C-alpha cells in the first residue's frame, strides 16, 4: 500500500538562522513534506547541535528540531556564497530567516533582490521586534519577547519575582505564528502568483495570546498580576493535593461542570450555594472554594480521585513528568512518542507530528542530519548542476 502524498510535498524551503524560532518553523513544514534545506556557515555550526543533554557528545535537541531536513553549508558573507544562494532561491518557494533586521540586506539578499530572481518567493522573517518600528534593530531573544509581550509579568506567584515558563515558549509561539503566515502566503500565491514577506516579531507573538489584558486595563482599570496556578475570576481551576501527596489538576469553572464536580464530591448543595452558583460568584470566592475542594481531594489517592472525576465528566489530570508521559497509554495510542533511527545513538525517541491529518498525516523519516553539509553534493551537484571539481574548489575557498 503506497503512502499518500504529503501536503507540502514539492515545496522547497531554504532555512537560515539558528536555534529556535526560525528552525522550529522549518521543522513544522518538514513534518508535512516540504523539502527543508538547512543552511549553516561552514565555520559556524548552529549552536542547537549542542543544546539539551548530551549523549556521546550528541545534543539531544538537534535531532528533533532538524528532523526531516537536509543539511548544506554556505558562507553568505562572501559574494560567491550570495550568488549561490540566489541560485538556490530561484529554485525554491520559501526562505526562513531569524536574523536581526538588516542582516539579509547587508548580505545583498534583501527580499527585493531575491524576488527579482523569483517573484513567487515567500520570505518568512522572525525577529525580536519585527522589520519596522523604533526597536527593529534591537537584539531580541525569546526571553525578551516573553517579558515585553506581557507573559512574564503574569507568570509565577504574587509574592515572588516574575518567572519563566519551563520551555522556550516565546520562540515557539513566534514560530507557530510565522508558520501560519507562511501557509497563508502560500495559499494566497495560488491566486496571485506572487510571493511576499511574512514579518513575525517575538514580542507580538507572545502579546497575541495575552487574552484580555489590554481591555482589562483600559476599560476596567485592572492590571492582571501573578496569581500562581489560578486564573483571575475563573474557578475552580487549580491544582489540589491528594492523600498520596501528589497533585491533581481540576478544571470545573463552567456551571454544568461545576455541578458535576459537586456531585463527585457528594456535596451537590454547593452548586446551589449563593457563593458558588454562578461564574462570577465562584471567582469572587475562589480561595474558600479551592479549600473545600482540596479538603475532599486529600481524602483520596490521586488515581482514585481522578477515576471518580472521570466518572462524573469533570476535566482533570495528573501533572506529568517525562516518565509519566512515556508510561501513558493514550500517548502511545496517538503515536505521540515516535522512534527514528539515529546513526550514532540508535533508536531515538521524539514527539510525534501535530496536528493529526486524517488522510495525509505528516511523518518523520529521519532525525536532524548529524553531519554538517551532509547534502552538499545532492543540493549543489543535482539542483544547481555544480561539478565535483567546482565543489572541491568551493570547499577549499571556504564558500561551502
If you search the block for the grid coordinates 513534506, which residue do you land on?
33
Rounded to whole angstroms, the Cα distance separating 57 from 45 reads 14
Rounded to whole angstroms, the Cα distance separating 85 from 82 reads 5
Residues with a known catalytic role: 171
Q: Tell me how far CA of residue 362 lies from CA of 29, 197, 261, 340, in angstroms.
A: 9, 26, 38, 14
Contact between residue 39 and residue 72 where contact means Cβ atoms under 8 Å apart: yes
Nearest to 105 by CA among 118, 95, 94, 114: 114
> What ranges make up the beta strands (E) of 252-330?
316-318
Rounded to whole angstroms, the Cα distance separating 39 from 47 reads 13
What are phi and psi for residue 269, nearest 5 degrees? Answer: -65, -25
Contact between residue 43 and residue 76 where contact means Cβ atoms under 8 Å apart: no
Percentage helix, strand, coil for the chain under 3-state DSSP, each rounded to 5: 40, 15, 45
DSSP 172-204: HHHHHHHHHHHHHHHHHHHHHS---EEEEEHHH
HSE (side-chain half, CA atoms, 13 Å) at 288: 10
If you search the block for the grid coordinates 456531585, which residue do you land on?
263
Helix (H, G, I), strand (E, B), or coil: what is residue 83? helix
Amino acid at each position: 500500500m503506497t503512502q499518500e502524498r504529503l501536503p507540502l510535498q514539492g515545496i522547497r524551503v531554504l532555512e537560515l538562522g539558528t536555534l529556535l524560532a526560525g528552525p522550529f518553523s522549518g521543522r513544522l513544514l518538514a513534518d508535512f513534506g516540504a523539502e527543508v534545506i538547512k543552511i549553516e556557515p561552514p565555520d559556524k555550526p548552529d549552536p542547537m547541535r549542542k543544546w539539551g543533554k548530551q549523549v556521546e557528545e550528541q545534543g539531544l535537541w538537534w535531532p528533533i528540531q532538524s528532523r526531516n531536513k537536509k543539511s548544506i553549508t554556505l558562507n553568505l558573507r562572501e559574494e560567491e556564497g550570495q550568488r549561490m544562494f540566489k541560485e538556490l532561491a530561484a529554485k525554491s518557494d520559501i526562505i526562513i530567516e531569524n536574523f536581526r533586521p538588516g542582516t539579509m540586506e547587508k548580505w545583498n539578499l534583501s527580499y527585493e533582490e531575491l524576488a527579482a530572481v523569483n517573484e513567487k518567493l515567500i520570505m518568512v522573517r522572525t525577529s525580536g521586534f519585527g522589520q519596522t518600528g523604533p526597536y527593529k534593530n534591537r537584539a531580541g531573544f525569546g526571553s525578551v519577547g516573553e517579558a515585553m509581550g506581557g507573559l512574564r509579568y503574569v507568570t509565577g506567584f504574587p509574592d515572588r519575582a516574575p518567572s519563566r515558563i519551563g520551555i522556550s515558549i516565546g520562540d515557539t509561539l513566534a514560530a507557530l505564528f510565522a508558520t501560519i503566515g507562511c501557509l497563508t502566503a502560500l495559499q494566497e500565491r495560488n491566486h496571485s502568483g506572487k510571493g511576499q514577506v511574512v514579518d513575525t516579531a517575538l514580542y507580538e507573538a507572545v502579546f497575541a495570546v495575552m487574552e484580555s489584558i489590554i481591555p482589562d486595563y483600559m476599560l476596567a482599570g485592572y492590571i492582571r498580576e501573578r496569581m500562581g496556578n489560578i486564573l483571575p475570576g475563573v474557578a475552580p481551576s487549580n491544582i489540589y493535593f491528594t492523600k498520596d501527596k501528589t497533585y491533581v489538576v481540576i478544571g470545573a469553572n463552567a456551571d454544568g461542570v461545576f455541578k458535576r464536580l459537586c456531585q463527585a464530591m457528594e456535596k451537590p448543595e454547593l452548586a446551589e450555594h449563593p457563593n458558588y452558583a454562578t461564574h462570577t460568584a465562584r471567582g469572587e470566592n475562589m480561595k474558600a472554594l479551592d479549600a473545600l475542594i482540596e479538603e475532599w481531594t486529600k481524602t483520596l489517592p490521586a488515581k482514585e480521585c481522578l477515576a471518580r472525576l472521570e466518572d462524573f465528566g469533570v476535566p482533570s489530570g495528573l501533572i506529568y513528568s517525562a516518565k509519566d508521559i512515556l508510561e501513558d497509554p493514550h500517548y502511545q495510542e496517538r503515536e505521540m512518542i515516535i522512534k527514528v533511527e539515529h546513526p550514532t545513538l540508535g533508536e531515538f525517541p521524539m514527539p510525534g507530528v501535530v496536528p493529526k491529518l486524517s488522510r495525509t498525516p505528516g511523518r518523520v523519516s529521519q532525525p536532524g542530519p548529524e553531519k554538517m553539509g551532509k547534502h552538499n553534493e545532492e543540493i549543489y551537484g543535482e539542483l544547481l548542476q555544480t561539478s565535483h571539481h567546482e565543489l572541491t574548489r568551493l570547499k577549499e575557498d571556504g564558500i561551502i
